[in-house]
Copies of this chain bind each other. A is one copy, B any other.
Amino acid sequence: MTTPSPDCVTAQTTVDSVEAAEALASAVIDRGLAACVQVSEIRSFYRWKGEVHDDPEWLLTFKTSAEAAAGTLRDHISQHHPYDEPEYIVQPIINGSEDYLQWIRESVHHQ
């Protein structure tokens, strides 16, 4: 069931409304840029103009291919994200259920 798989990754971004989370997650799935998107509520602490801010946000975690994360998914987020400077990070999947990883590969379109 398990195969080392450097070609699948998780990617993450955040938005400031549940509507933006729903829209971005649905569009990413609809366009085949990730196999699934997991959305959860968080509180984000960060410094802005010298002050520590504490804002509600929605975290989107994409399960996708390394190729899409460095290409089509990244570009879509860059073009459609409501923020000017959105968070966007990519972390490696080093192992997993082969069936699940294969589902990720087959769900993601790279063009």
Measuring CB to CB, which residues of chain A are less than 8 angstroms from any residue of chain B? 1-2, 8-10, 14, 22, 25-26, 28-30, 32, 35-47, 52, 54, 57, 59, 63, 66, 69-70, 74-75, 77-78, 85-97, 99-101, 103, 107
A96 interface neighbour in B8, B35, B89, Cβ under 8 Å? B89
Q: How many whole Å from A85's CB to the nearest CB in chain B?
A: 5
- Given contacts A92-B91, A96-B88, whether A39 and B29 have CB atoms under 8 Å apart is no
Q: How many whole Å from A72's CB to the nearest CB in chain B?
A: 12
B78 near A52: Cβ-Cβ < 8 Å: no
Q: Given the complex, which residues of B lie within 8 Å of A25, measured CB to CB?
A: 43, 45, 54
A94–B89 CA distance with the chains assembled, in angstroms: 8
Q: Given the complex, which residues of B lie within 8 Å of A63, measured CB to CB?
A: 87, 89
Top 4 nearest A-B pairs (CB, nearest first) are A90-B95, A88-B97, A25-B45, A36-B46
Q: Given the complex, which residues of B lie within 8 Å of A96, measured CB to CB?
A: 88-90
- Given contacts A2-B74, A30-B52, A52-B26, whether A89 and B10 have CB atoms under 8 Å apart is yes
